[in-house]
Amino acid sequence: MECHKTQEILRVLDEEYGTSKEGFFYGADWQLLVAIMLSAQSTDKQVDEVLPGLWKRFPDLRSVADADISEIEDQIKSVGLYKNKAANMKKCCTQILEEFGGKVPMDLEKVVTLAGVGRKTGTLFLADAYGIPGVTVDTHVFRISHRIGWAEGNTPVKVEQELMKVLPEEHWNRINFQLIYLGRSICTARKARCGECPIARWCEKRL
Ligand code: SF4
């Protein structure tokens, strides 16, 4: 795709969806990481609803590390995959305390050693917590990048590499939530509503 088309798409995405994400309120780095972990396979609404009770019951890393997994499960029951997430939360918070002195590490290679933290969660965390540029490729970013014509790779890691070449660095952190908004409302997995799409003029797969 020509560079000027990409510039136009990025300009319109900034106009439509803004340049910073509206998010949860997080008091500490580990709370942000936990919130991102909980959001996998769950809606923002589900996560928003459990967070106040979760922070009240578990106000610090030590309280999570020392908890019974069943107590954590009780607090997060309404989010998807809650049993796995509860076990990972306990392990991850224990690791942060014991291996990283109570602070979530600032580089991806270390963050992904934490329980329940893959490349996607780690990249998103580093971007949101520390502003470290990174492209997070989830299902929406993967699908729409192919439709737009930005990427051809068949794995999230390949698409991540392609997007880092195509997009200016200042857009890396925000492309994720912008394409999530577009992917939930207009360019959905089931149907691309190209007639309503703000970037249709420049998209290679528009219908
Ligand atoms: S024009 Fe269609 S295929 Fe392209 S991004 Fe918009 S909705 Fe998706």
Q: Residue 149's domain spans which residues? A: 3-20+135-202
Atom of ligand 1 nearest to the CA of 203: 4
Q: Are residues 125 and 140 in the same domain?
A: no
Ligand 1 contact, 186 CB (< 6 A): yes
Choosing from 44, 60, 74, 138, the catalytic residue is 138
Q: How many independent structural domains does the chain possess?
A: 2
Ligand 1 contact, 32 CB (< 6 A): no
- The CATH number for 96's domain is 1.10.340.30
Q: Are residues 125 and 183 in the same domain?
A: no
Q: Distance (Å, rounded) from C-alpha 115 to C-alpha 190?
A: 32
In a domain? residue 207: no
Q: How far is the CA of 161 from the centre of ligand 1 (A)?
A: 22
Q: Which of 130, 155, 176 is the last residue of a domain?
A: 130
Ligand 1 contact, 148 CB (< 6 A): yes
pLDDT at 169 exceeding the cut of 60 = yes
For residues 204 and 148, is the Cβ–Cβ distance under 8 A? yes
Q: Is 56 a catalytic residue?
A: no
Q: How far is the CA of 119 from the centre of ligand 1 (A)?
A: 26
Distances (CA, A) of 175 to 92, 127, 144: 27, 11, 11
Q: Are residues 54 and 144 in the same domain?
A: no
Q: Residue 118: which region, alpha, beta or left (left: phi > 0; alpha: psi -120 to 50)?
A: beta
Q: Which of 102, 130, 158 is the last residue of a domain?
A: 130
Bridge partners (DSSP) listed for residue 187: 192
If you average pLDDT over residues 170-182, what whole number do you get?
93
Ligand 1 contact, 193 CB (< 6 A): yes
pTM listed for this prediction: 0.79
Q: Are residues 180 and 95 in the same domain?
A: no
At 105-157, the pLDDT tens digits run 999 999 999 999 999 899 989 988 888 888 989 999 999 999 999 999 999 99
In a domain? residue 193: yes
Q: How far is the CA of 66 from the centre of ligand 1 (A)?
A: 48
Q: Are residues 117 and 148 in the same domain?
A: no
Q: Are residues 125 and 62 in the same domain?
A: yes
Ligand 1 contact, 141 CB (< 6 A): no
Q: Which of 109, 130, 151 is the last residue of a domain?
A: 130
Choosing from 29, 90, 120, 128, the catalytic residue is 120
Q: Are residues 39 and 121 in the same domain?
A: yes
Q: Are residues 39 and 102 in the same domain?
A: yes
If you average pLDDT over residues 46-59, what whole number do you get?
93
Q: Are residues 198 and 154 in the same domain?
A: yes
Q: Are residues 141 and 88 in the same domain?
A: no
Q: Are residues 10 and 42 in the same domain?
A: no
At 64-104, the pLDDT tens digits run 999 999 999 999 999 989 999 999 999 999 999 999 999 99
Q: Are residues 74 and 39 in the same domain?
A: yes
Q: Distance (Å, rounded) from C-alpha 199 to C-alpha 16?
A: 10
- The CATH number for 198's domain is 1.10.1670.10
pLDDT at 25 exceeding the cut of 90 = no
φ, ψ at 192 (rounded to 5°): -95, 115
Question: Alpha helix (H) ranges present in the chain?
Answer: 3-17, 29-39, 44-57, 61-66, 69-76, 82-100, 108-111, 119-130, 139-148, 156-166, 172-185
